Amino acid sequence: MEILTGNELISGATVYLDRRGQWVEELQEARVFAVEEGEARDAAIAATKATLRIISLETEKVSVVEGLLVPERLRERIRAKGPTAPVLDRQHLYEDGHVSI
Give the list of residues 6+ apart from residue 35 with CB closer than 8 angstroms, or none.
1
Task: Look at residue 85 in the predicted model and tell me its pLDDT.
Answer: 60
pTM for the whole structure? 0.75
Task: Look at residue 78 in the predicted model and tell me its pLDDT.
Answer: 80
For the chain, strand residue ranges (E) read 2-8, 14-17, 23-24, 54-65, 68-71
Q: Give the number of other Cβ atoms within 10 Å of residue 14's Cβ.
A: 20
Q: What's the average model confidence in pLDDT over 50-54?
A: 90
Task: Look at residue 15 in the predicted model and tell me its pLDDT.
Answer: 92
pLDDT tens readout for residues 91-100: 555 555 555 4
Give the list of residues 6+ apart from residue 1 with CB closer than 8 angstroms, or none.
32, 33, 34, 35, 61, 62, 63, 64
pLDDT tens readout for residues 10-29: 888 889 999 999 999 999 99
Q: Which residue has the higher pLDDT, 90 or 45?
A: 45
Sheet holding 2-8: strands in order across?
23-24, 14-17, 2-8, 54-65, 68-71
pLDDT tens readout for residues 26-39: 999 999 999 999 99
For 23-91, strand residue ranges (E) read 23-24, 54-65, 68-71
Q: Which residue has the higher pLDDT, 42 or 97?
A: 42
